[in-house]
Amino acid sequence: MAFQSSSAGVPEGGNRRGLGAKYGATVRKRYGRVMSVLKRTRRCPSCGSTRFRRKGAGIWACATCKYTIAGEAYDVQLEKM
């Protein structure tokens, strides 16, 4: 896989309140959903570890077995795998 390394320092969740007035209520609602998605515990599809988390935009990686996949920017379709 081409995307390993480099984006490891991206902060997870946290202090990103206030998206600015240019975003409407719909986006803000979706933003809340996105944040809950990011906090949700996921299982690695490869080894089953719960240390599987978002590594950067569209990148999900397992801290246990190093399994890495590209998903959507804010969610990953594990249900389909």
Contacts with Zn ion by CB under 5 A lie at 44, 46-47, 49, 62, 64-65, 67
* Shortest Cβ 75–Zn ion spacing (Å): 18
* Shortest Cβ 71–Zn ion spacing (Å): 14
* Shortest Cβ 51–Zn ion spacing (Å): 7
Give the nearer residue to Zn ion in terms of CB position, either 12 or 30: 12
CA 25 to CA 61: how far, in whole Å? 31
Give the nearer residue to Zn ion in terms of CB position, either 15 or 41: 41
Give the nearer residue to Zn ion in terms of CB position, either 3 or 31: 3
The secondary structure of the chain, three-state, reads: CCCCCCHHHCCCCCCCCCCCCCCCHHHHHHHHHHHHHHHCCECCCCCCCCCEEEEECCEEEECCCCCEEECCCCCCCHHHC
